[in-house]
Structure 1
Amino acid sequence: MNFDSWLLLLLTLRANNATIRVRYWRTLKTKGCVALRDGVYLLPANTQTESALRELAHEIMEGGGVVHLLRAQHFDAEQEIELRSMFNRSEEFAEFVRSLPKFKETLFSKTPREISSLLRRLQKKLDDIIYIDFFPNEASTKAIATWKDFVLFAKNVIYSSES
């Protein structure tokens, strides 16, 4: 994806309600936002991210918070590189890949139904990372390839247990 601008969400919550703060923080995290400082969040601008932040901004305002959603551009290539680096999901992908051998060891002791359930859970975990991977790189390519190999192995385990 090519991003030429950024979205800044500036928010102030009315009350010191920790539950509300945590709920919004989690929502921002699942949308892939990066915290620049307390109450200032950044996302690459596209139709999807803008829609998601507009919806969240509306929710926060309805709850009594103050929200400003701004579009910004980087000044130069150096700043663009710096901003993009904040969205590097390589570690999340690496962690996912590192978890697969542990699950692979358990497949032979699971029923086909349990393996299918595990595959769905792991697929969702990978999909969640891909959803916030605005700047795919080698780490995402490796994770997806490793995942495909894992799925093939798991399906072979299911097949061999049913024979």
Structure 2
Amino acid sequence: MKNNLSKILNIFIAVIAVIGAILFIRIFMTGEDDVQALSSSVGSIVGFSTILLYFAIGATVILSLIGLFRNPDNLKKTLLGVAVLGVVLVFAYFLADSNAVLDAQGKVLEGGDAGTSINQWVGTGIWYSVCLGLVASLFFVYDLVKGLIKS
């Protein structure tokens, strides 16, 4: 069964590679002067890449969910981790502000008006990164100290 699956996957990968190569060669065969043909060639490889991206995302999500539901202990750990990330996100949201975004001269940038939700979420993203970086740094130092004590 595993051997057959491996053969099928290899054939599938080869077909994808051949299609990608054909689309890539088609771009180089198109003259630089023919803008419409070049746009069509590039558009076809971009569309193909987009389909592959969606397929990869879908396969990843489906296989991850199957793996989680097969092992309930991992499901509990994953849900706990997602809950902790949610708490950190809420904490970061309350740390962020929605003040106006100013340029170097002190003028309000276009779309950077005070009180907009975009300003709030950008600030949340920044604070979220800072909070996760702090947590990661603490775990790094903890692991380093733990390693020094064992030695």
TM-score category (smaller protein): under 0.3
TM-score (norm 2): 0.27
Structure with higher Rg: it is 2
Bigger relative contact order, structure 1 or 2, given CA contacts below 8 A and separation 6+?
Answer: 1
| Higher strand fraction (1 or 2) | 1
